[in-house]
Structure formats: C-alpha cells, structure tokens
Structure 1
Amino acid sequence: MSTSSSRTHGSDGQYADRTTPIPSVSRYDFVLALIPTAFLLTVVVAGLADVAVPKALAAGSVVALTAVVDALFLNPPTGG
C-alpha cells in the first residue's frame, strides 16, 4: 500500500509527520467505469457510423454484461 507524507501542526506547536494511505484503483473500479463507457462509446459510434441507436445499445449492453459477469462470477471479490 502506498502512503503519502504530510506535515501537520501538532497541539504542542511542533510540526509532526503524518502518513495517509493513498487509495488504489482496483479491478472492480475499472469494471464500474467500463459499464457507462461502453454505452457512451456505442452511442457515439452509432452517430458516426450511421447505425441504429437501439442496435448500438444492444452491442454496448453485451460489453457491459460481459464485464459484470466477469467481475461477479468469474473473478469474484474476496474478503480481505
């Protein structure tokens, strides 16, 4: 785990070093970002390629569903 150092002013008037953890991005954060991105990209591509939006959204839903199935069933989160 990464840490970040910062200097804080203590109650006695002295500066004290304090480390705070930097949150890391996990595989599941990427999955959550992929779901709306898949839909957004398919709508943009549908507009550029003159494809019907419902067909493009169906393709985006397949991509999003694949990511969700992978995250929930193929590589489920484990308790740490």
Structure 2
Amino acid sequence: MSIEKVENKKSLQQEAADGETTMPTDHQATGIESHAAEPLRVVVGALAQMRYGTIQLTVHDGKVTQVDVTERQRFAG
C-alpha cells in the first residue's frame, strides 16, 4: 500500500472518529452509485468505532451484498 493511501485511510478514520464523516449525500455528483452508499456508510461507521479487527466485504455481480465486521479485544498481558 502506498504512503498516500495509508495517509488517506488514516484521514478518513480520524474524520469518522471525530464525527466528520465525509460520506456524500449527492451520490451522482460524486460518482458513487446508489447501491454502494449504504455499504460505504457501514464500513465508515465500523472504522470509526473499531480499534482492532477486520472488515470483510462480499461482492456479487460487482455490488456489495454483505459486510462482516469482526472486532478484536486486546488485553495487556
């Protein structure tokens, strides 16, 4: 992953954590198709709340059909 992508990911996570989610409301103007809007909101919300874990997307025919969120609990040993 490039440095630019990592910085963008950190920026989106920080914005989501700060309550400044950048999820657009006008999907046609931003190029986001309407079928992708809700899964993107779910992913951004999960990133905002998660410290450790995974987010897995299931795609059928080019559309997200399922989002699985697994959060890990880490304890000091």
Structure number, greater radius of gyration = 1
More strand per residue: 1 or 2? 2
More helix per residue: 1 or 2? 1
Q: Structure 1 length normalisation: TM-score?
A: 0.31
Q: Structure 2 length normalisation: TM-score?
A: 0.32
